[in-house]
Amino acid sequence: MLQQTTVAMVRDYFLHFTSRWPTVADLAAAPLDDVLAAWAGLGYYARARNLHKCAQAVMRDFGGVFPSNLDALRSLPGIGDYTSGAIAAIAFDQPYAAVDGNVERVMARMFAVEEPLPDSKPRLKQLASGLVPKRRPGDFAQAMMDLGATICAPRKANCLICPWNGHCRGRALGIAETLPRKREKAARPVRRAVAFLAIRRDGAILLRRRPERGLLGGMLEVPSTPWERSDATPAASVTESHAPLPAPWTPLAGTVEHTFTHFHLIVEVHTAHGLDDIPLEDPAARWVPLDDLPTEALPTVMHKIIAHGLKL
């Protein structure tokens, strides 16, 4: 949960998850739909799918006990270098580095590494690994993360209260707050789409499950045209061909916008009200009562689309 997400954002989700599924066996046995619904709003939904797959792999391949071997940890779904290092150090007291963005920043400033990210990642990990003590490596790992999160912060290097300020080359050179350097990012591309909000006579809305793989995989969505790069909304003929069912669709004024990691999405919403409960040709689609939406696996962008379509 903490991968690319702050503690403040994660805390309530973590407490809810561990209360609902207190053991790895409980999580492994849970339906994926329930896990995705509980994750809704936290973003980066591949993490939820991997968390579920990881629990199942631990039960299937390791008898319900997490392995302590670094290579075995890395073999589990969703666990890479950072997470495996953190688990090995914190849970199993092994001398491995847990290098997240906070630790990379501390290393870049401590050793005045001016090579920009992401090219400098191997060097920064090597530097961090060289500092890991044999005694209490888990405490060291957590201290390093906290140092970067609270003192050696992104916008402000609070050098006066830093316990390592006498050894920091970045501070000595007066360049600490300019580090780590980053390659200039390309402009975030814009994608456009038309979403179809179908509303049944009883107020239920039509939702569709997205493919398991890919962006927002396995989550529910308001049916839409493909999200494609374009300077304009898809043409009417293209739009109608992607409508989930034949209906008198009405375009709404305004748009819904949402920014993902790699692109910005602009959505025009078309609505159709008072529809009959007709058979659905798409097996991934189903009618969902409005009162059930809070318990469904709906990502934030879909909540925005529904709110715009219903003028909530």
Q: What is the pLDDT of residue 152?
A: 96
The CATH number linked to 90 is 1.10.340.30
**Residue where a domain terminates, one of 178, 213, 246:** 178
Q: Within this chain, do residues 102 and 232 fall inside the same structural domain, yes or no? A: no
Q: Within this chain, do residues 174 and 197 fall inside the same structural domain, yes or no? A: no
When pLDDT is averaged across residues 262-286 and rounded to a whole number, the result is 90
Sequence-distant (6+) residues with CB within 8 A of 278 are 245
Q: Within this chain, do residues 194 and 111 fall inside the same structural domain, yes or no? A: no
Q: What is the pLDDT of residue 206?
A: 95
Please state the domain count of the chain. Answer: 2
Q: Within this chain, do residues 165 and 269 fall inside the same structural domain, yes or no? A: no
When pLDDT is averaged across residues 58-77 and rounded to a whole number, the result is 95
More confident residue, 124 or 238: 124
Give 172-229 pLDDT, tens digit per residue.
999 999 999 998 888 889 999 999 999 999 999 999 999 888 888 888 999 999 998 8
Q: How many CB atoms lie within 10 A of CB 216?
A: 21
Q: How many CB atoms lie within 10 A of CB 305?
A: 24
Q: Which two tokens stand for residue 179?
A: 């580090």
The CATH number linked to 232 is 3.90.79.10
Q: Does 1 map to a domain?
A: no
Beta carbons of 197 and 309 less than 8 angstroms apart: yes
Q: What is the pLDDT of residue 237?
A: 58
**What is the domain range of residue 302?**
190-310
> What is the average pLDDT score of the chain?
92
Q: What is the pLDDT of residue 150?
A: 93
Half-sphere exposure of 186 (CA within 13 A, CB side): 6
Q: What is the pLDDT of residue 3?
A: 81
pLDDT interval class at 148 (50, 70, 90): very high
**At CA 260, angle to CA 257 and CA 262, rounded to 5?**
125
Q: Within this chain, do residues 29 and 151 fall inside the same structural domain, yes or no? A: yes
Say which residue the tokens 């046995």 belong to. Answer: 29
Give 69-128 pLDDT, tens digit per residue.
999 999 999 999 999 999 999 999 999 999 999 999 999 999 999 999 999 999 999 999
Q: What is the pLDDT of residue 236?
A: 62
Q: Within this chain, do residues 171 and 218 fall inside the same structural domain, yes or no? A: no
Q: Which two tokens stand for residue 304?
A: 């925005």
